[in-house]
């Protein structure tokens, strides 16, 4: 018994309670990550976009950053150069979600979120892995990918290519993989552009010089 007549909690109970609290805090942090624009830290609201690293932003904030050319000044958005580097998300609304963000006296279940997977109905709360089809912007869960294997998009019935899927809010290790992939793509595009320019210069030179004359051909033959 304690000094106030209550029972003294055992050590195992204290450890268990601490682990439960830590798990709850982690889940809340994960859930908040799916509700906040990673550029402005403001609440996410449609239209919502994702970058090639899977980070989520309010579209208006990114557009303002592109116009003002301020995205390069922020480490989290410096890889976003133009509209091609973001994709607007086609999200499935959770009809059972009730927004009580302004009611401080109301319990908020962070497992219930505004958006869900269109196939499995899992909530986008940070516990479940979600992907965006970069081709069309449709969003769905990893569980849907495993349970219903297809090359047709779950959202719009368009094309689904595994290489074009981007994980949303991934861990740092996955972000590093995406960074390397994006850098390789940019280097490849740069090299292809260089080759096209060389081919164009060669073609333009040939057109301006005209076909080889007979005299030039004779000189070439005699020198050989």
Residue 217 clears pLDDT 90, i.e. is over it: no
**pTM for this structure?**
0.73
Quote the CA–CA distance of 110 and 107 in Å, as a whole number: 9
Phi and psi at residue 54, to the nearest 5°: 85, 5
Task: Say which residue, 121 or 20, is predicted with more confidence.
Answer: 121
Q: Are residues 71 and 80 in contact, defined by beta-carbon separation less than 8 angstroms?
A: yes
Torsion angle of C-alpha atoms 12, 17, 19, 25, degrees rounded to 10: -170
pLDDT tens digits, 171-204: 999 999 999 999 999 899 888 888 887 866 766 6
Q: CA 212, 215, 216, 218 torsion: positive or negative? A: positive
Strand partners of residue 134: none
pLDDT tens digits, 60-113: 999 999 999 999 999 999 999 999 999 999 999 999 988 765 555 444 555 679
Which pLDDT value is given to residue 106? 45
Quote the CA–CA distance of 192 and 221 in Å, as a whole number: 36
Quote the CA–CA distance of 50 and 86 in Å, as a whole number: 6
pLDDT tens digits, 10-49: 565 544 555 555 555 666 777 788 999 999 999 999 999 9
Element at 22 (helix H, strand E): helix 11-33
């Amino acid at each position: 018994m304690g000094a106030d007549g209550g029972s003294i909690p055992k050590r195992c109970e204290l450890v268990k309670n601490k682990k439960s609290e830590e798990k709850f805090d982690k889940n809340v942090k994960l859930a908040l990550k799916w509700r906040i624009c990673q550029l402005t830290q403001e609440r996410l609201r449609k239209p919502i976009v994702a970058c090639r690293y899977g980070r989520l932003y309010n579209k208006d904030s990114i557009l303002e950053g592109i116009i003002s050319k301020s995205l390069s000044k922020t480490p989290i958005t410096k890889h976003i150069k133009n509209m091609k580097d973001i994709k607007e998300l086609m999200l499935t609304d959770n009809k059972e979600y009730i927004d009580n963000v302004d009611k401080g006296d109301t319990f908020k279940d962070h497992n219930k979120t505004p958006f869900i997977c269109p196939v499995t109905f899992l909530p986008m709360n940070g516990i479940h892995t979600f992907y965006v089809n970069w081709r069309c912007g449709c969003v769905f869960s990893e569980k849907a990918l495993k349970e219903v294997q297809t090359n047709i998009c779950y959202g719009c019935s368009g094309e689904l290519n595994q290489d074009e899927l981007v994980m949303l809010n991934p861990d740092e290790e996955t972000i590093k993989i995406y960074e390397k992939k994006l850098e390789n793509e940019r280097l490849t595009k740069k090299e292809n552009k260089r080759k096209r320019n060389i081919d164009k210069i060669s073609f333009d030179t040939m057109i301006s010089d005209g076909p080889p004359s007979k005299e030039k051909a004779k000189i070439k033959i005699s020198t050989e």
